[in-house]
Amino acid sequence: MNATEDHADPRAGAARVPGSSGPSHLDQLEAESIQIIRETVAECARPVLLYSIGKDSSALLHLVRKAFFPAPPPFPMLHIDTQWKFRDMYALRDRAARAAGMDLVVHVNPEGLAAGISPIVHGTARHTEVMKTQALRQALDLHGFDAAFGGARRDEEKSRAKERVVSVRLPGHRWDPRAQRPEFGTLFNMGRGPGETLRVFPLSDWTELDVWEYIAREGIEVVPLYFAAPRPVVERDGQWIVRDDERLPLRPGEAVQMRKVRFRSLGCFPFTGAIDSEADSLEAVLAEMRTTRRSERQGRLIDFDPASSMEQKKREGYF
Amino acid sequence: MAAAPAVGGGLVRVLACGSVDDGKSTLIGRLLYDAGAVPEDHLRTLAADSVRVGTRGGELDYALLLDGLAAEREQGITIDVAWRQFATPRRRFVIADAPGHEQYTRNMATGAAAADVAVLLVDARKGLLTQTLRHSRIAALFGVREVVLAVNKMDLVGLSQEVFERIAAEYGAFASRLGLVRVTAIPLAAADGDNVVVRSARMPWYPGPTLLERLETLEPADASHEGGFCLPVQWVNRPDADFRGYAGRVVRGRIRPGDAVRVLPGGRETRVARLVTLDGDLDEAGAGRSITLVTADEVDVGRGDVIVASAAPLEVADQFEATLLWLDDEPLLPGRQYDLKIGAQRVRASVNPLKHRIDVDTGGRLAAERLELNDLGVGELSLDRPVVFAPHTEQRELGRFILIDRQTQRTAAVGLLNFALRRARNIHWQAHRIDREVRARQKQQQPCVVWFTGLSGAGKSVIANLVEQRLVELGRHTYLLDGDNVRHGLNRDLGFTVQDRVENVRRVTEVATLMADAGLIVLVAMISPFRAERAQARERVTASGAAFMEVFVDTPLDVAEARDTKGLYARARRGELSNFTGVDSPYEAPASPELRLDGAAGTPQDAAERVVAAVLALRATGALP
């Protein structure tokens, strides 16, 4: 018996809610994302999946696999390694690439590495600029990628709400909000002028809750850091910072304590805040998501630069 | 997000539109807030922003939840369409917030193209405005079938039932003329929340649903389930010799293994063998689903083909009447070629003639020679290959296209196919027995078009004449088409405006192509100032099988003007001639011509010898040396 005949199997894709006539919102979002992914691959010479190992990347990778099954996705994955990700993240990265049958390209900014750029010494802004923004530009240029898939969603942040699904980057990877093309439904112009590249966001219309519901429905593996567990933390700037390795020096008066925490959003460990939580399973995380009154990026310290800092970073080539 | 999960009813896309100051941002902000979709930390930012830059005397200014770009907050305007997501226990929503200020037509079309329903705001004090009618017209044109008329600021008209009912009746009459039959009018006071999510205690005379209740219960007028199966093929999935699947998203109908299908535009028939997914094969797939379809027989299917139910084939045509919304700073020029994308099909297209412009306010027709940014118009569209389509009123995905500027790759227009022109189906190419090759062999030469471009007075005609003399001495068969001379006959009806120049080059291109087809070496000497038309000439000629050689006679403006052999620069400078290239009309120099001749140095004889050598070096394949 194949899966679709078994309506008890939520992974059948056509899961229907009793009393509703059409496909569920997850079915619609999935179909639209797959359409966007296939269109990009058909129209671009050298696409790449920008993979950050977070939950959105995991959902996106799953959609990419579905779009091309039974073939493996016909493009590589790219991880911009800032060297300060959680250890659990590196482990999942290598496993996920193998499972998908995709080539994994890991890029570290060699100049940043040589200069020993560290968030502890140089601050988060400088570290992000050198090891993330500059590194991404380097990697795209080095491999000649003309379209990069990203897992950004419009509900994450105000300036993202106006981002296109297919976002044109000018030569030098600059983002000019005024130069973006109007989009009409799923009819996308993927044309590229000289030196232009595309960022493609198949999860644009998804919310954080949609992503979690999809992860649960499809049985997608995510980093265990999303689930609550006792972890060594220090309190810093009003956030719980998990001390993932010894590179995080303690400030005067700081003490490491064990607390049951989890992450809603994962960045580099020295500046990603964890939240107090008892949600140690997918069901518990979903339940927490449905009642929380806090936004997802509350733990991302890089957002708390002056207003419109995300917009500013995007203009410079941040994803 | 604090929103409760959607448990069914799928995803509904809402377009929110209204005139300036109708309170649209406030309404959406309020909707998100009351639906619990604004997280606490965003509320804290909102409270601080409301005190700093708010317009409600320090009280929560919900509009500030929406203005995302720095330029917007600084200028206090909304530039771009913003997309908001929220969910209620009954439904998941995506709201397109289309600003009414700048670029309203473009933004409205963007939002409408994806929307199931439009929420149209009206200020109760002002009633229906020109903008209200304009927004409705664009929404209806781009496929919105259902409208919620939100009559806002009821508190400022004394919560008057009479005012509300008058506006609702007036709008209902207008909407039905546009074919918008599903209209719900709701009285609101968005800033205070009346009838947004919670029923207003102040307007007991209104018995109908709140805005959210209406959005949660409406049935999207979805035509995609009606009609036969239709799958535009996006991607041919062929990992190895054993598997060949056709990937795409079903835009209409349903399909099951065993169903008979036809592949358009070719028309070959086969059956569906499998519907393949990562989770196992499907035994049925319906509209909206992204699938991979395997056919029973080996048929040749490529990207852009459309697989349809055998019993319900679609039309195929290459000439249409189309409605266009122009989106680029560069205007539409009749006759210029653009790339056209419809579904996964991509072809070349030009608009000729442009029939009229549409007055967005009244729907009336206006005479037009071109379309400028944000203009709406109707014209005849010619494609270089037939496409599979359905009129846009029947099927959005198969009746809607974009035009892409071939130089900049910008989206130049969005368009709607109204119907195929009859003649497209009836005119067929006559096959000739004596073809270009035969005629070329007879003349023992390689036919080609040598295109001389440059400023007036650059020396194009002088050099082209020398080239022709030399080729005839060598026994070749030639013809010189001179830009000045064709204007006395073939193009005597054309002037020097941009659109006339485009048409001038187009006609000369066609004549040159015919002459090359006759086996001649054709020399064209004309200013041809625009890159796009020269590129078009190149493609037209090479597509016909002849070689094309662009010769840039590169003479600086000051040199050409100093020569002024025809006295034209002097007249242009005195203002007696307008649209003169180099003076008040641009010249776009070729980026990579086959030959660049320095018109300021060397003799015309030397220049001519270089051209002759290049022509004689053309190989029989038609390839350039």
Residues of B within 8 A of A308 (CB-CB) are: 69-70, 73
* B431 domain-assigned: no
Query: Which CATH number characterizes residue B173's domain?
Result: 3.40.50.300
Do B156 and B145 share a structural domain?
yes
pLDDT at B578: 83
Annotate B5-44 with three-state secondary structure: CCCCCCEEEEEEEECCCCCHHHHHHHHHHHCCCCCHHHHH
Backbone angles phi, psi at B125, to 5 degrees: -70, -30
pLDDT at B621: 45
Tell me whether residues A295 and B84 touch, CB distance under 8 A: no
End of a domain among B275, B309, B343? Answer: B309
pLDDT at A300: 56
Tell me whether residues B277 and A13 touch, CB distance under 8 A: yes
Residues 11-70 of A with CB under 8 A from B: 11-14, 17-20, 22-25, 27-32, 34-35, 38-39, 41-42, 65-70
* B2 domain-assigned: no
Do B462 and B407 share a structural domain?
no
Q: Are strands B290-295 and B268-276 parallel, antiparallel or unpaired?
A: antiparallel
Asked if pLDDT for residue A218 goes beyond 50, the answer is yes
Do B415 and B447 share a structural domain?
no
pLDDT at B434: 74
Which runs of E-coded beta strand occur in B230-342? Answer: 230-240, 243-249, 254-255, 260-264, 268-276, 285-286, 290-295, 306-309, 315-326, 337-342
Do B62 and B178 share a structural domain?
yes
Which of B1, B92, B279 lies nearest to residue A13, judging by beta carbons?
A: B279
* B1 domain-assigned: no
Domains of chain A are: 23-212+310-315 (3.40.50.620), 223-307 (no CATH)
Tell me whether residues A184 and B2 touch, CB distance under 8 A: no
pLDDT at B382: 94
Do B37 and B160 share a structural domain?
yes
Tell me the C-alpha distance between A101 and B29, whole Å. 44
Do B132 and B73 share a structural domain?
yes
Rounded to an integer, the average pLDDT of A198-205 is: 97
Tell me whether residues A213 and B5 touch, CB distance under 8 A: yes
Is A303 an 8 Å CB contact of chain B? no
Q: Are strands B146-152 and B117-123 parallel, antiparallel or unpaired?
A: parallel
Q: Under a CB-based contact definition with an 8 Å cutoff, are residues B148 and B24 in contact?
A: no
Residues 221-250 of B with CB under 8 A from A: 222, 234-235, 237-239, 243, 245, 247-249
Q: Under a CB-based contact definition with an 8 Å cutoff, are residues B378 and B356 in contact?
A: yes
Tell me whether residues B249 and A31 touch, CB distance under 8 A: yes
A153 or B396: which leads in pLDDT: A153
- CA of A19: which chain B residue's CA is closest? B8
Tell me the C-alpha distance between B453 and B523, whole Å. 11
Percent of chain A with pLDDT over 70: 86
End of a domain among B195, B221, B247? Answer: B221
Sorting pLDDT into bands at 50, 70 and 90, what band is A80? Answer: very high
A37 or A21: which leads in pLDDT: A37
Q: How close, in Å, is residue A51 to chain B by CA atoms? A: 21
Count of C-beta atoms within a 10 Å radius of residue B38: 23
- Catalytic, out of B382, B528, B585, B592: B528
pLDDT at A6: 34
* B6 domain-assigned: no
CA dihedral A19, A20, A23, A26 (to 10 degrees): -90
Asked if pLDDT for residue A298 goes beyond 90, the answer is no
Helices (H), A129-260: 135-143, 208-218
A5 or A59: which leads in pLDDT: A59
Do B248 and B190 share a structural domain?
no
pLDDT at A4: 35
Percent of chain A with pLDDT over 90: 58
pLDDT at B622: 43
* B625 domain-assigned: no
Q: Under a CB-based contact definition with an 8 Å cutoff, are residues A57 and A51 in contact?
A: yes
Q: How many CB pairs under 8 A join A and B?
A: 233
Tell me whether residues A69 and B82 touch, CB distance under 8 A: no
Query: At a CB cut-off of 8 Å and minimum separation 6, what does B493 contact?
Result: none
pLDDT at B625: 37
Q: Under a CB-based contact definition with an 8 Å cutoff, are residues B317 and B305 in contact?
A: no
* B429 domain-assigned: no
Asked if pLDDT for residue A127 goes beyond 50, the answer is yes
pLDDT at B485: 85
Tell me whether residues A177 and B69 touch, CB distance under 8 A: yes
Do B194 and B65 share a structural domain?
yes
Asked if pLDDT for residue A310 goes beyond 80, the answer is no
Question: Of A105-114, A262-271, B117-126, B544-553, which gets the smallest average pLDDT?
Answer: A262-271
- Average pLDDT score over chain A: 85
* B4 domain-assigned: no
Tell me whether residues A11 and B279 touch, CB distance under 8 A: yes
pLDDT at B367: 92
- CA of B217: which chain A residue's CA is closest? A20
Mutual angle of helices B104-114 and B130-141, in 10-degree steps? 40
Query: Which CATH number characterizes residue B356's domain?
Result: 2.40.30.10
* B457 domain-assigned: yes
Tell me the C-alpha distance between B517 and B520, whole Å. 7
Alpha-carbon distances of B151 from B127, B215, B388, rounded to whole Å = 8, 16, 42
Residues of A within 8 A of B403 (CB-CB) are: none
Tell me whether residues A185 and B113 touch, CB distance under 8 A: yes
Residues of B within 8 A of A31 (CB-CB) are: 249, 288-290
Rounded to an integer, the average pLDDT of A125-154 is: 94
Terminal CA-CA length for chain B: 64
Backbone angles phi, psi at B96, to 5 degrees: -95, 115
- CA of A16: which chain B residue's CA is closest? B8
Is B392 an 8 Å CB contact of chain A? no
Respond yes or no: is residue B19 known to be catalytic.
no
Tell me the C-alpha distance between B230 and B251, whole Å. 6
Structural domain count of chain B:
4
End of a domain among B254, B289, B309? Answer: B309
Q: How close, in Å, is residue B66 to chain A by CA atoms? A: 7
Phi-psi region of B80 (alpha: psi -120 to 50; beta: other; left: phi over 0): beta
Count of C-beta atoms within a 10 Å radius of residue A308: 20
Please give the single-letter amino acid code of residue B190. A
Tell me the C-alpha distance between B113 and A185, whole Å. 5
Report the residue of A11, A24, A25 to disrupt the B interface, i.e. the one with the largest count of B CBs within 10 Å.
A25
Those residues of chain B that have pLDDT short of 50 are 1-8, 426-429, 620-625
Rounded to an integer, the average pLDDT of A263-281 is: 87
Q: Tell me which residue range forms the domain holding B591.
A: 436-616
CA dihedral B54, B55, B59, B61 (to 10 degrees): -70
pLDDT at B467: 95
Do B464 and B570 share a structural domain?
yes
Tell me the C-alpha distance between A156 and A163, whole Å. 11
Do B537 and B486 share a structural domain?
yes
Backbone angles phi, psi at B318, to 5 degrees: -125, 5
Do B451 and B401 share a structural domain?
no
Helix H or strand E segment including B356: strand B345-358
Bond prior to A70 in cis (omega within 30° of 0): yes
The dihedral built from the CA positions of residue A246, A247, A248 and A254, taken in this order, carries a sign that is positive
Alpha-carbon distances of A224 from A228, A229, A244, A259, B115, rounded to whole Å = 8, 9, 13, 15, 38
B356 or A290: which leads in pLDDT: B356
**What 8-state DSSP symbol labels residue B236?**
E
Q: How many C-alpha atoms does B34 have within 13 Å on its Cβ side?
A: 20
Count of C-beta atoms within a 10 Å radius of residue B181: 12
Rounded to two decimals, the ipTM of the complex is 0.86
Report the residue of B25, B88, B222, B279 to disrupt the A interface, i.e. the one with the largest count of A CBs within 10 Å.
B279
Tell me the C-alpha distance between B180 and B139, whole Å. 10
Q: How close, in Å, is residue B348 to chain A by CA atoms? A: 14
Tell me whether residues A34 and B290 touch, CB distance under 8 A: yes
Q: Under a CB-based contact definition with an 8 Å cutoff, are residues B122 and A200 in contact?
A: no
Do B20 and B166 share a structural domain?
yes
Q: How close, in Å, is residue A286 to chain B by CA atoms? A: 9
Nearest 5°: CA angle at B314, between B310 and B316?
125
